[in-house]
Structure 1
Amino acid sequence: MARTFQCESDIYALPSQSRPYFVRDGVVSKLLVRVGAGGMKTFVMRARFGQAKAPATRKIGDAFTTSLETARETVIRWSTLNRKGVDPWEEATLAELEAEKYQRQTFRHVLQDYIATLPFRAQNRKADEDGATLRREFLDPERVPWLDDPIRDVKGANVQRAIEAIRNRGAPTQAYNVFSLIKTFFRWATTPARVDDFGMEHSPVERLKSSDMGLKRNKGTRKHDSREIRAYWAACDAMDYPLDECCRALIISLQRKNETRLAEWSEFDMEQRLWTIPACRFKNGKCQLVPLSVPMMQLLARIRSMQSDRHGPFVFSRNDGHSPMGLNSGDIDKFRAMMTEIYLADNPGRAPPQHWTLHDNRRTGRSALSNLGVPFDVAEAVIGHMKEALEETYNLNSFKMQRRHALHLWAEELKFIIDDPSHSLESEENEAPEWDSRWNQTRPRKASK
C-alpha cells in the first residue's frame, strides 16, 4: 500500500480494507485521504487547530467530488489561519452563518423594513403616499421577479428594467418619481451602519441617471385664467361637503393639497386670524404661517357651525372629524368634470379647459400676487417656498404682516373675478396703461443762443 499520493489517480487506486486508514499527500504534508472500510475516500487535515494543544482531524470534502487542487488550497489557507491562532473551522462556520444571514435579507424584507421607517423620518409629509407607491411598484412579484433575491444580489439593470416598465406603460412622470424613491431606499440600505446588516457597500443605482432612461421632472407651467376661476368657484357650489369647502380653501389660502385637507382645528387661532401648519406636515420641515383672509374666516365659521360639540380634530372630514377626508383621483375627476361642464355652459364656442391639477391653484395665485405688486420674497413666503441660503441666514423676518396683506389682496382679486365676468387676471398684463406724464404737461427748454 502506498505511503503517500501525488495525484488523483493515486487516490483512486487506493484499496479499501477492513478498517479505515489514512494516506498522506506527498506535496502538502498536512493533507491526508481517509479511506473508509466501505471504500469511501475523504480529504482531511491533521493539525493543531487554533489554540488547541492536541492535534485533531478536520474534514475537507469527499475525494470523489472535491478536486485534489482544491483540497491542497484549503489546507494551505487553514494553515495560514492556524499560524495566526485562528481556528479555520470556527472561521468557516461564522462565514456560513454570515452568508445565511445575508441570504435571509431579501429585497422584499429590506424594502418592507424601510417603508416601516418612513413615518418616523424628519420630513415625512408624504410617508403614506411614498410607502403605497413603493409597495405597488416594487412589492409585486409580477412586476419584480427578483423580489425574493438577497438584496446584495440586486443589480442596477434589474432596477432599470423595472423603472423602464413603468415608463413604457405610459407613466413617465410616475417612473421619474419612483426612481427618486428607490434611489433614496438604496442610499438608506447602504449607509455604514447598515452594511453589516445587509452586506451592501454600494447602491446598485448610484451610477444610474434618470436621463439614461429618458426621464425628466414634469414641471407644471399651467395656471387658471379668470373664466376658469369662475367655473372652479361654481363647481365648488355644486359639490357636497367636505369636497366643496376643501377646494375653496385651496384656492383661497394657496396652500398645498395635503397641508389643507389634513388641517386640524387646533392649528387655527381665530382671534389672531392665523393658521399655523406644523413643521411635521409642511414640505420644507418648518412651520408655515397662513394669515386668514375674510373669505377663509367665513369658510371656517361656516364649517364650524355645521359640526357638533363631539366633532373630532380634523376640519375637513367625512366621519365627524375622527379622520381627515380623502382626496383621491375619483374626487378630483368628479370636480374637474363639473368645472368643465360649467365652463362650457358659460363660455359657448370655447374649447374646454386643458387638463389641470389642484396644484394649478398655487401657480395661479402666485402669478396674481406678482401682478398685484406683492414683493417677490413676500409672495414666495405666502406659498411656503424657502428663502435662499444667505437670505435664510440673515433675514429672519417671517413677513407675517406682509403675508396678511398679500392674502387680503388675493382674496379681493378673487372676489372681483367671481363677481365681475368682465374682470380678467390677464388684463393688466396685456393693456398699456395711460398714466399722466410730465412730458405731456411741459415743453422742453429752448437752447440758449
Structure 2
Amino acid sequence: MLPEKERKGRVNLTDKALKAMKPAPAGTDRYEVADAIVPGLRVRVNEAGRKTFVLLARFPISTTGKRKPRVDGKINPTRRTIGVYVEGGVTGRSNSKEGGDAPIGSLGDARKTARQWHELLSQGIDPQTLIAETRARERIRQDNSFGFVVEEYLKTAVLGPDEKNPLMRVGKEIARNLRVEFVNDKWETGQKGAGQAAGGKGKKRPGLGPRPISGITKQDILAVVDAAIARGSRTMAHNLLAHVRMLFNWAIDSGRFGIEASPCDRIKPKSVIGRKTKRKRVLSDAELRAVWAASEKIGYPYGPIYQLLLLTGLRKGEVSDAPRREFDLARKMWTIPKERMKMDNDHHVPLSDLACAVLQKLPQFERSAFAFSTSLGAKPVNGFSKAKTILDRTMLNEMRRAVAEEGGDPEEVTLQPFVIHDIRRTVRTRLSALGVNRVVAELILAHAQKDLDAVYDQHAFIDERRQALDKWAMAMRSIVAPTSGNVISFEARQNAKQLT
C-alpha cells in the first residue's frame, strides 16, 4: 500500500507502480491514487487487489437521470469507470458506471482513453452516450455482416436447426463452400489440393465474413471464383458462384439486411468461368482393383466406406452418415429413411453377400449410433479431403506394385485424378454394361422418377435391384480377384459365405 501522503496527493503513476500496488487493508473497502499526468484520472484498489481506472470530471446530466445541477448551475464532479487494469489485457473501455470491467492493458491505454473523454466533454458530448451509440452501430453492423447473413441463410434455408440432417441434400456442401471459400480467410497457392504448407508459396486472401453484406462487390465474388479457376477447379468455381448467388437472392427476398441488388447479377458463368461440362470420369478395372486393395490397407472407417460406395452406388454422405440401425443383415437389406435421402419415400438397398461381409467386419462400440465414426459411434465420420488424399496415394502404390509384379515399369504408372462421386458414375456405367434395366439402375442410385412414372409407377423393383447388385458384386469379385491370388478372399469371401 502507498504511503498516506501519496494516496492523498497526485502521483506520477507508472506501470511498475501499478503492479506494485497492494490490496486495500481489510475493512477499508478501497483506496484511490490520482494520476499527476492526466487530470481526473485515478486508480482505485479494493481489498481483493482489483485495480480500476476512473475519471473524475463534470459529466453532462441526462434528462432522465437523478443527478441535478447545483443552485449556481454547475455540475458536481463525478467518477466514471474507464476500465479494469489487467496486465497484458486487451485495451477496452467500459460503457457502464461504477463497476465496469472492460480490460485496460496498460497505464498508457488508460491515459489515452481519459484524454479522449476530456476532449469529448469539452465539446459537450457525454462519452458514455457516445460509447453506447458506437456499440449499437457496431451491433447493427455485425448483424448485417456477410458472415452473419451466411449463418442466418444456412440456418434458415440450407441446414436447418440440425446440421447433421440438412434441409437441402447438398446442404453440407453449400455450407462448406460459403464458410471456407467466402467467409473465412483462405490461403491461396494457385495449386489444386495445396494448402498453406505448400513450400511456403501463396498468399492469404482475407475472408469476407466481417464485411457488411451491403459492401460486398462483384470484384469480391470474382476474386473467390478466379482463385478456384487458378487452382484448376472450374467445376468448383461454377458451384461457388451458384451458391453465393442463391445466398444473395435469399438475403434480398428476406428484406432484413438492407440490400436491394446482388453483386452476382451481372456475372455470367459461361463468360467468366467457361462452359460447365458434365463429368464423365469412370474408373477402369485396374483402378477399381486399386480402390479395393487400398481400402483394405486404409482400414476403418474410410476403407469400408469406399468399399460400400463401390458395391451400392450410393452417395458419400448416404454411406458415411449411416446409423447402425439402418442395416438389417438378417434380411440383407439397408433401409435409408426418406429424411436422410431428402425424398418422399425410404430408399431400400438390397445388400449383396460381399456388402454384408464388409458390414460384418465393422467394429462395435458401446455408443454405436453411427456405423462409421472416429468418436466411438457418437457422431459420423468427416474429414474426407485428407482421407481422399490418402486413398489416392495408396491406390497409386497398389497400381505400381501390380505392374511391377507383371514385369512392367512401375514409374510409368500414373493415377488420373478423380473425385469420390466418380465412383457412383462408375457403378451406374457398369450396371448398364451388365445389362441391368435402365429403370432398375436409376432406382439403385436413388434417382427420382420423373413425370407420370413418379405418380403412377410405385413398383419398387426390390427383387430386380437385388439381382442387379448381386450381379455387380460378382463382377467386382472378378475384377478385384481375377486369379486365385484373390484379394477379396482374405476375409470377405469367408464372411460372405457365412451369410448364405
Name the TM-score, length of structure 2 as normaliser.
0.58
Q: 2:358 aligns with which of 299, 310, 317?
A: 299
> Residue 9 of structure 2 corresponds to which residue in structure 1?
none
> Residue 311 of structure 1 corresponds to which residue in structure 2?
367
**CA shift at 1:311, angstroms?**
3.5
> Residue 393 of structure 1 corresponds to which residue in structure 2?
455
Amino acid aligned to 1:397: H
Alignment of 1:404 with 2:466, yes or no, is yes
> In structure 2, what is the Cα distance between the partners aligned to 1:139 and 1:267?
36
> Residue 13 of structure 1 corresponds to which residue in structure 2?
none
Q: Unaligned stretches of 5+ in structure 1? A: 1-96, 423-449
> In structure 1, what is the Cα distance between the partners aligned to 2:231 and 2:477?
43
Distance 1:229 1:139, change over 3 A: closer
> Residue 330 of structure 2 corresponds to which residue in structure 1?
271
> Residue 154 of structure 2 corresponds to which residue in structure 1?
115
**CA shift at 1:236, angstroms?**
2.1
Q: 1:332 aligns with which of 377, 383, 388?
A: 388
**CA shift at 1:101, angstroms?**
6.2
Instruction: Please say if residues 254 and 365 of structure 1, whose CA atoms lie closer than 8 Å, have aligned partners that are also in contact.
Output: yes
> In structure 1, what is the Cα distance between the partners aligned to 2:288 and 2:337?
29
> In structure 1, what is the Cα distance between the partners aligned to 2:207 and 2:307?
45
Instruction: Please say if residues 332 and 351 of structure 2, whose CA atoms lie closer than 8 Å, have aligned partners that are also in contact.
Output: yes
1:378-425 per-position Cα deviation (integer Å, ceiling 9, x unaligned): 111111222222321232222222111111110111112222259xxx
What fraction of aligned residue pairs are identical, expressed as a percent?
A: 29
The structure number with the bigger radius of gyration is: 1
**CA shift at 1:269, angstroms?**
2.5
> Residue 107 of structure 2 corresponds to which residue in structure 1?
none
Q: 1:253 aligns with which of 309, 312, 319?
A: 312
Q: 2:176 aligns with which of 132, 157, 163?
A: 132
Name the TM-score, length of structure 1 as normaliser.
0.64
Once the two structures are superposed, the pairs formed by residues 45-194 of structure 1 within 5 Å of their partners are 105-117=144-156, 118-120=158-160, 123-140=167-184, 143=205, 148=210, 150-191=212-253, 194=254
**CA shift at 1:146, angstroms?**
6.5
> In structure 2, what is the Cα distance between the partners aligned to 1:140 and 1:302?
40
Higher relative contact order (CA 8 A, sep 6+): 1
> In structure 1, what is the Cα distance between the partners aligned to 2:209 and 2:377?
39
Amino acid aligned to 1:419: A
RMSD: 2.9
**CA shift at 1:204, angstroms?**
3.4
**CA shift at 1:351, angstroms?**
3.0
> Residue 300 of structure 2 corresponds to which residue in structure 1?
241
Instruction: Please say if residues 266 and 313 of structure 1, whose CA atoms lie closer than 8 Å, have aligned partners that are also in contact.
Output: yes
Amino acid aligned to 1:293: S
SS of corresponding position for 1:198: coil
**CA shift at 1:147, angstroms?**
5.3
> In structure 1, what is the Cα distance between the partners aligned to 2:236 and 2:230?
11
> In structure 2, what is the Cα distance between the partners aligned to 1:287 and 1:267?
11
Once the two structures are superposed, the pairs formed by residues 342-421 of structure 1 within 5 Å of their partners are 342-347=398-403, 348-349=408-409, 351-421=413-483
> In structure 1, what is the Cα distance between the partners aligned to 2:375 and 2:143?
43
Distance 1:245 1:124, change over 3 A: same
Distance 1:416 1:325, change over 3 A: same
Instruction: Please say if residues 102 and 198 of structure 1, whose CA atoms lie closer than 8 Å, have aligned partners that are also in contact.
Output: no
Amino acid aligned to 2:386: G
SS of corresponding position for 1:290: strand
Instruction: Please say if residues 270 and 276 of structure 2, whose CA atoms lie closer than 8 Å, have aligned partners that are also in contact.
Output: no
Instruction: Please say if residues 334 and 350 of structure 2, whose CA atoms lie closer than 8 Å, have aligned partners that are also in contact.
Output: yes
Instruction: Please say if residues 261 and 316 of structure 1, whose CA atoms lie closer than 8 Å, have aligned partners that are also in contact.
Output: yes
Distance 1:258 1:200, change over 3 A: same
| 4+ aligned runs moved over 6 Å, structure 1 | 100-103
